[in-house]
C-alpha cells in the first residue's frame, strides 16, 4: 500500500512537467524522489501528517511561472518552499487554507522578496502568521492575494517620492 502511494505521488509530481516544462522547468524521476524524501523529513520535523498526493504539485503549479526560478535552482526551491509551507501551516494554526497560503507565498515571493526564500520565510510569512494568530481573517475574502501590504512593516519604494527627490536634485 505504501509503495503504491509513493508511486502515485511520483507520478503526480512528474505530471507537473507538462505545465512547468513551458517555463523550462523539468523534474526527473530522481528529482521527484528527492523531493518526496525531503517531504518526509519536513513532515516529521513539523509533526504533520499528509495524505494523498501532497502539497508539492500545488506548489509547482503555483510557482512554475515565476521569473525567480530556473532549472538550476528548481529542485532546491521546491524543497525549500515545501518546508516553508509546512512550517507556516503550523504557524498559522491551520487557519489558512492551502490555496490561500500558496497564493500569499507566491505573491510575496515575486513582488516583495524577489525570489529570496529567507525573506519570504523570516519576514513576510512571519508577519502574516502573527496577524492570523491574532485573529485576522481578511485573507479568506481575498484568497490570500493583496494581503501583505496590510501588515508590512517596511516602507517600500514610492515612485512619486522618487520623482520628487529627483526633481529636487536636478534643480540644485
Q: What is the pLDDT of residues 113-155, one digit of tens each?
A: 999 999 999 999 999 999 999 998 888 888 888 888 777 776 6
If phi over 0 gives left and psi between -120 and 50 gives alpha, with beta otherwise, what is residue 81? alpha
CA angle 89, 108, 142 (to 5 degrees): 70
Closest CA to 83 of 128, 130, 122, 29: 122
Residue 18: other Cβ atoms inside 10 A: 8
Task: Give the C-alpha separation, 51 to 61, whole Å.
Answer: 19
Task: Give the C-alpha separation, 40 to 34, whole Å.
Answer: 10
Closest CA to 38 of 30, 103, 124: 30
Could you tell me the pTM of the whole model? Answer: 0.84
Q: What is the mean pLDDT of residues 83-89?
A: 96
Q: What is the mean pLDDT of residues 161-171?
A: 73
What is the DSSP secondary structure assignment for residue 157, as one 8-state letter? P
Amino acid at each position: 500500500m505504501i509503495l503504491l502511494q509513493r508511486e502515485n505521488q511520483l507520478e503526480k509530481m512528474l505530471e507537473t512537467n507538462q505545465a512547468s516544462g513551458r517555463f523550462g522547468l523539468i523534474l526527473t524521476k530522481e528529482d521527484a524522489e528527492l523531493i518526496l524524501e525531503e517531504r518526509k523529513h519536513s513532515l516529521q520535523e513539523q509533526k504533520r501528517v499528509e495524505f494523498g498526493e501532497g502539497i508539492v504539485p500545488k506548489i509547482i503549479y503555483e510557482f512554475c511561472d515565476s521569473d525567480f526560478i530556473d532549472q538550476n535552482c528548481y529542485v532546491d526551491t521546491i524543497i525549500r518552499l515545501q518546508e516553508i509551507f509546512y512550517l507556516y501551516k503550523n504557524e498559522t494554526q491551520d487557519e489558512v487554507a492551502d490555496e490561500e497560503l500558496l497564493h500569499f507565498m507566491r505573491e510575496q515571493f515575486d513582488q516583495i522578496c524577489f525570489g529570496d526564500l529567507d525573506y519570504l520565510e523570516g519576514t513576510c510569512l512571519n508577519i502574516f502568521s502573527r496577524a492570523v494568530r491574532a485573529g485576522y481573517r481578511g485573507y479568506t475574502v481575498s484568497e490570500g492575494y493583496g494581503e501583505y501590504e496590510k501588515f508590512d512593516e517596511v516602507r517600500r519604494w514610492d515612485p512619486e517620492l522618487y520623482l520628487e527627490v529627483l526633481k529636487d536634485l536636478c534643480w540644485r
